[in-house]
């Protein structure tokens, strides 16, 4: 044992030990959860027909991977989600920018935005799908509808709460409205816009899954709803599992981007 550790080294060692402990606990929790589930299903405490079991889910997943069928479903859902995310977020930010330019327009549209925001957008999904068609287009429109209004409202809110003094400083330089937007409003809100994207990932997934529940012959949502209808709970669970992994990966990509952006500063 090296007893000549400085306080700094002790601190680092302590920190690393705590971090390791947290990771171990997290892994332990997963193992415990899956292990108990498997055990209870095997001995009959849980009804395998209703609750499925981890080994059956993995077996099914391997089967889907081998037949390459899963990639088709994942691909379609991912495409729909990404389209919904990109279009919903950018359209929302563009509308927020337009509203930022005109206070009067914002005031006129305010009550409508509030109502649209409060309305559960999934209730609109059947109509939207009838309007936009039952293919990928309809599902993407549902995904957009979930993130659009929220994006407009929160982006506009961020834009309007830019530091008053900085605004005055730019005005003292006789900056135009567009210069204020590009030099101050947008750059000072990069972090906020990234957090809107993070929220919209979840929103787009909800939209896509709801859309696929309603109409579709492919996609994770289709797998889940089909599995439910034929009482193949293995399939439902597998769908949820794949969904969780995909959503986490997308979230991770944004977080990495956020870190890169922070370091660049």
Partner 1 sequence: MENEIEFKHVNKSFYSLKGETNVLKDINFIVKKGEIVAIIGPSGCGKSTILNLISGLTIPDDGKVITNKKVGYMFQKDNLFDWKNVYKNITLGMEIKKLKVDEKRIDELLTKYGLIDFKYHYPKELSGGMRQRVALLRTLVLDPDILLLDEPFSSLDYQTKITVQDDIYKIIKETKKTTILVTHDITEAIAIADTVIVLSKRPSSIKKIYQIDLELNEEKTPLKARNSIKFKDYFNLIYKELDIHE
* Binding positions for partner 1, rule: CB under 8 A: 163, 165-166, 168-175, 179, 183-184, 187-188, 190, 265
Cα–Cα distance measured from residue 99 to residue 102, given in angstroms and rounded to the nearest whole number: 5
Nearest distance from C-beta of residue 167 to partner 1, angstroms? 9
Q: Closest approach of Cβ 260 to partner 1, in Å?
A: 14
Nearest to 196 by CA among 78, 85, 115, 116: 85
**Shortest CB 138 distance to partner 1, Å:** 40
- The sign of the torsion formed by the CA atoms of 63, 67, 72, 78 equals positive
Residue closer to partner 1, measured from CB, 123 or 260 = 260
Nearest residue to 184 via CA among 175, 193, 196, 194: 175
- If the CB atoms of residues 116 and 175 are measured against partner 1, the closer one turns out to be 175
Report the C-alpha gap between 81 and 139 in whole angstroms.
Answer: 9
**CA dist 244 → 74, 95, 118, 239, 241 (Å):** 12, 31, 27, 9, 5
Residue 264 CB, shortest distance to partner 1, in Å, is: 9
What's the CA gap between 81 and 144, in Å, rounded? 9
Nearer to partner 1, 166 or 198 (CB): 166
Tokens of 8: 């700094």
Minimum distance from residue 159 beta carbon to partner 1 (Å): 16
**Cβ pair 85, 143 in contact under 8 A:** yes
What is the gyration radius of the CA atoms in the chain, in angstroms?
24
CB of 259 to partner 1, least distance (A): 16
Task: Give 23 or 103: the residue with its C-beta nearer to partner 1.
Answer: 103
Q: Quick one: 78 or 184, whose CB is closer to partner 1?
A: 184
> How many alpha carbons fall within 13 Å on the CB side of residue 159?
27
* Residue with smaller CB distance to partner 1, 23 or 171: 171
Can you tell me the distance from the alpha carbon of 96 to that of 150, in angstroms, rounded to the nearest whole number?
10
Q: Do 57 and 70 meet the contact criterion of CB atoms below 8 Å apart?
A: no
Of 180 and 223, which CB lies nearer to partner 1 in the complex structure? 180
Name the minimum Å distance from CB 188 to partner 1.
7
Residue 237 and residue 46: Cα distance in Å, rounded? 15
């Amino acid at each position: 044992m090296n007893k000549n550790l400085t306080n700094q080294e002790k601190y680092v060692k302590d920190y690393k030990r705590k971090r390791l402990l947290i990771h171990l606990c997290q892994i332990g929790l997963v193992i415990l959860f899956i292990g108990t589930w498997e055990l209870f299903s095997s001995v009959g405490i849980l009804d395998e027909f209703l609750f499925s079991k981890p080994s059956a889910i993995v077996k099914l997943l391997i089967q889907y991977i081998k037949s390459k069928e899963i990639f088709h479903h994942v691909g379609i859902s991912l495409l729909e989600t990404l389209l919904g995310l990109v279009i919903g977020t950018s359209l929302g930010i563009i509308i927020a920018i337009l509203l930022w330019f005109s206070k009067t327009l914002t005031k006129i549209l305010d009550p409508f935005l509030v109502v649209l925001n409060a309305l559960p957008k999934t209730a609109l999904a059947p109509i939207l799908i009838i309007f936009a068609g039952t293919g990928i287009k309809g599902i993407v429109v549902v995904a957009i509808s979930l993130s659009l209004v929220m994006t407009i409202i929160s982006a506009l809110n961020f834009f309007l709460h830019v530091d008053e003094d900085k605004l005055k400083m730019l005005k003292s330089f006789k900056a135009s409205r567009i210069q204020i937007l590009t030099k101050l409003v947008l750059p000072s809100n990069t972090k906020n816009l990234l957090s809107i994207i993070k929220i919209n990932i979840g929103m787009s997934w909800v939209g896509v899954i709801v859309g696929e529940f309603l109409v579709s012959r492919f996609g994770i949502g289709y797998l889940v709803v089909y599995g439910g209808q034929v009482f193949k709970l293995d399939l439902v669970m597998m769908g949820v599992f794949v969904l969780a992994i995909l959503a986490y990966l997308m979230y991770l990509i944004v977080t990495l981007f956020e870190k890169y952006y922070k370091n660049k500063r």
